[in-house]
Structure 1
Amino acid sequence: MSYAIIIILIVALLIAAIFINAVQQHRQKQEAERRTELAKQRGVVDETESVIAATVNMPVSSRLIGVLHNRALNALRVMNEYAGTSELKNRINNTEQAAAAALSDDSSAPSEFTLPDNDKMIIQYIQAVKKLRIILRSEHSKGQIDSKVFLDEDKQLERLQVKVNVETLIKRGRAALQTNMLGSARQYFEKAKIALENQNTQDDYSSTKLAQLNEWLNEIQSNLKNVNAQDRAKKQEEERDELDELFAPKKKW
């Protein structure tokens, strides 16, 4: 009888150990998932706030800024579910106010556009525009914004992306002209022209820039013809001098 009790106790202990181990593994798995989700949402917040900061000097609409604040807000709320703190609650309140203020402002994107001063800032600008389009597409796929808003805002960002590209090419083309590098200038202007012509819809900006580019390209073509004519004349003169020297009467000594 005592052996039977001992065996039962051993079995009970084994079952208890297995149960405790399973519970611990489950808790460890939950904690790992919690940390992973927190890290994921923290990354969303950091990325979104970085893009919001980059839009300060960009001609984007208040509606798009509201979409960004709303994205950060959703991520903060998920973080609060996993690890609620007073700091998170304050950030949620601040972000709610920022999102509401931006979304209530129905002003459209400013039409003014100024190209950044140096190449590093231009690269950052282009990266920010691309990131905005990715975020916008992601929020649309999640059902956070309707299709009309998505199409309108994405079209504006596409135009902005074209403007940055065109203005950068024009800037480099004008710099090449100043150093009399006509071939390089022509290549820059032709690339800018192609970028504008590839747009699905043309606007005042496209029309104005295309007219300027065509004028500059015509001037370059004219200058290249003049240079080629001068080179041909110079070469002919050199060949004539060589012939004159070759057939000149030999001097008698």
Structure 2
Amino acid sequence: MVAIIVGLIIALIVIVVVVTSIQQHKEKLEAEKRIKVSKQKAIIDESEELILNLANLPNNPNIIKILNRRSLNAAKTMQELMPVVKGIKKRVQELTSQLKASEDLADTQNVTEDNFT
């Protein structure tokens, strides 16, 4: 009788330890995912800030195209990491249209520069 009670207590302790370790592992994975998402968000914010500051420099649409592509890649990575977050899909669409516009502008400027040379 005492052996059964001791065995049940040991089994209960083992179950508690296993459940706690699984929960800690899930929390660790979620924290790592949040860190990755925050890095991607920082990339998007920095790229947008650089694009705004490019107004003070000579016009170079290729730099804008590169920064827009960088932002789009970061947004797509965020979408892969957290697909259930609202607004990411719309943000990816916005960045895709910005990238297309900057590519068109870069192509137009390259054609114009070719005409002058």
Q: TM-score, normalised by structure 1?
A: 0.40
Deviations 1:62-99 (A, max 9, x none): 22211100101111112222333331111110101111
Between Structure 1 and Structure 2, the one with more helix by share is: 2
Q: How does 1:156-235 map to 2 (within 5 A)?
A: none
- Alignment partner, residue 63 of structure 2: 64
- Alignment partner, residue 25 of structure 2: 26
Matched, 1:75 2:74: yes
- Alignment partner, residue 12 of structure 2: 13
Deviation of the 1:26 alpha carbon: 0.4
Q: How does 1:27-66 map to 2 (within 5 A)?
A: 27-66=26-65
Deviations 1:128-149 (A, max 9, x none): xxxxxxxxxxxxxxxxxxxxxx
Count of residue pairs the alignment pairs up: 108
Letter in 2 for 1:51: L
Distance 1:11 1:86 in 2: 45
Letter in 2 for 1:23: I
Letter in 2 for 1:101: A
- Alignment partner, residue 101 of structure 2: 101
Deviation of the 1:43 alpha carbon: 0.8
Distance 1:81 1:99 in 2: 19
Distance 1:69 1:39 in 2: 18
Distance 1:10 1:66 in 2: 64
Distance 2:90 2:57 in 1: 28
- Alignment partner, residue 244 of structure 1: none
Deviation of the 1:57 alpha carbon: 4.2
What SS class does the counterpart of residue 50 from structure 1 fall into?
A: helix
Deviation of the 1:13 alpha carbon: 0.7
Distance 1:98 1:39 in 2: 22
- CA RMSD in angstroms comes to 1.9
Distance 1:54 1:22 in 2: 48
Letter in 2 for 1:16: I
Distance 1:56 1:92 in 2: 24
What SS class does the counterpart of residue 24 from structure 1 fall into?
A: helix
What SS class does the counterpart of residue 58 from structure 2 fall into?
A: coil
Distance 2:31 2:14 in 1: 25
Structure 1, gaps ≥5 residues long: 112-253
Distance 2:36 2:59 in 1: 31
What SS class does the counterpart of residue 86 from structure 1 fall into?
A: coil
What SS class does the counterpart of residue 30 from structure 2 fall into?
A: helix
Deviations 1:215-239 (A, max 9, x none): xxxxxxxxxxxxxxxxxxxxxxxxx
Letter in 1 for 2:87: E
- Alignment partner, residue 143 of structure 1: none
